[in-house]
């Protein structure tokens, strides 16, 4: 007899694979621009490669946020309600979250719920943060909103919720989509709950291009791994050596775009999706966008999503903002 927990886990895996198949079929069938959702960059291999990216000299985002949180963690925590459950969307290894959790746990025992689609990232997160005194860690291997809904439903009646959406992940959404996503988060919160939102700020184009196309080629490997993942998990046969990583700046959108460009005509099959994909030489698959913000844009975006931006902290060496949004 299958145990209920195992059955639930199996159902979640099957659903995740079905979503992957559907998104690959839809994205690679688009014309004129083929695309793949950026969330699929983060399988076990992709998550490990991204951890390497965060320490590269060209990629200052993670270090800037860590400096900011190290300096201001106590001040951030001072503006939170007394009893909070912490839910983090896309925790990664959890390294950048340590300062906030340590500051909270100094005041009271704290429940921390990392939400990740990558099982290996959740395991790494538990190892990274498990030594913090008075912390309880319960991981959710879910999409952001599905995991947050579960955390919100499971909290005690007298607990507030603090949602962490750190890094520059909000930048992966187009600007209207980012507002819609914040509204979706807001529907799961009660008035007085809070969201700590990280945003990468505008900076010179040369700096941005280097951050997403490093000299060593780690970001290229991270991007190409998406095709390798399709090959592994969906019985694809993309010839990886026929593609190259491209980072470009979209001035109208104020975003960096990552693409996989065919170096010559390519035809590949994705058998699990019953799909044949053909690309001409120079044609690309768009895999990620990272929109950049001005700090003064955030309060208006927050207001549109039924939050109030109560406080904001800015790291100016690289250009990064952390904003505390309170649900209205």
Strands 34-35 and 284-291: parallel
Q: What is the DSSP letter of 52?
A: H
**Structure pTM?**
0.91
Return the pLDDT at 14: 87
Bond before 293 cis per omega within 30 degrees: no
Mean pLDDT (the chain) is: 94
* Unique residue bearing structure tokens 């903002």: 321
Return the pLDDT at 158: 85
Condensed to tens digits (0 to 9), the pLDDT of residues 268-300 reads 999 999 999 999 999 999 999 999 999 999 999
Residue 108 has pLDDT above 80, yes or no: yes
Condensed to tens digits (0 to 9), the pLDDT of residues 55-71 reads 999 999 999 999 999 99
* 26: Cα separation from own chain's centroid: 21
Residue 53 has pLDDT above 60, yes or no: yes
Question: What residues contact 122, with CB distance under 8 A and at least 6 apart?
Answer: 91, 114, 116, 139, 141
- Backbone φ and ψ for 204, nearest 5 degrees, come out as -55, 145
Return the SS3 of 31: coil
Written as six digits, the tokens of 75 are 């001040």
Interval 32-38 mean pLDDT:
97
Return the SS3 of 301: helix
Provide the 10 A C-beta neighbour count for residue 10. 11
Indicate if the alpha-carbon torsion angle 178, 182, 183, 188 is positive or negative.
Answer: positive
Interval 81-97 mean pLDDT:
90
Written as six digits, the tokens of 220 are 């290229």
Question: What residues contact 191, with CB distance under 8 A and at least 6 apart?
Answer: 327, 328
Return the pLDDT at 3: 54
Domains along the chain with CATH numbers:
61-203+297-327 (3.40.50.150)
Q: What is the DSSP letter of 166?
A: -
Q: Facing residues of 114 across strands?
A: 88
Condensed to tens digits (0 to 9), the pLDDT of residues 292-316 reads 999 999 999 999 999 999 999 999 9
Interval 5-30 mean pLDDT:
86
Element (H, E) at 162: strand 160-165
Kindly indicate the confidence band of residue 2, based on its pLDDT and cuts at 50, 70 and 90.
very low
DSSP string covering 177-240, please?
Answer: HHHHHHHHHHHT--TT-EEEEEEEBP--HHHHHHHTS-SS-HHHHHHHHHHHHHHHHH-B---G
């Amino acid at each position: 007899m299958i145990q209920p927990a195992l059955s639930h886990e199996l159902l979640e895996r099957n659903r995740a694979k079905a979503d992957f198949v559907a998104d690959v079929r839809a994205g690679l069938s688009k014309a004129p621009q083929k695309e793949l959702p950026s969330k699929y960059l983060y399988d076990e291999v992709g998550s490990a490669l991204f951890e390497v990216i965060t320490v590269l000299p060209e990629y200052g985002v993670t270090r800037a946020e860590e400096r900011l949180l190290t300096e201001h963690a106590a001040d951030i925590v001072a503006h939170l309600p007394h009893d909070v459950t912490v839910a983090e969307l896309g925790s990664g290894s959890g390294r950048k979250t340590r300062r906030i959790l340590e500051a909270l746990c100094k005041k009271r025992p704290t429940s921390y719920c990392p939400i990740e689609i990558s099982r290996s990232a959740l395991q790494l997160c538990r190892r990274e943060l498990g030594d913090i005194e008075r912390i309880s860690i319960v991981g959710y291997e879910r999409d952001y909103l599905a995991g947050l809904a579960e955390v919100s439903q499971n909290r005690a009646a007298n607990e507030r919720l603090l949602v962490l959406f750190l890094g520059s992940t909000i930048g992966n959404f187009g600007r209207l989509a980012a507002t819609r996503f914040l509204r979706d988060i807001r529907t799961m919160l009660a008035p007085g709950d809070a969201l700590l939102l990280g945003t990468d700020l505008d900076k010179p184009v040369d700096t941005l291009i280097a951050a997403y196309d490093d000299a060593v080629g780690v970001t290229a490997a991270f991007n190409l791994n998406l095709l390798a993942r399709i090959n592994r998990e969906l019985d694809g046969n993309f010839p990886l050596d026929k593609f190259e990583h491209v980072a470009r700046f979209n001035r109208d959108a104020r975003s960096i775009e990552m693409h996989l460009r065919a170096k010559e005509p390519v035809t590949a099959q994705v058998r699990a999706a019953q799909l044949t994909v053909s690309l001409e030489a120079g044609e690309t698959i768009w895999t990620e966008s990272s929109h950049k913000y001005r700090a003064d844009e955030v309060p208006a975006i927050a207001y549109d999503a039924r939050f109030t931006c109560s406080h904001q902290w800015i790291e100016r060496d690289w250009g990064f903002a952390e904003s505390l949004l309170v649900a209205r």
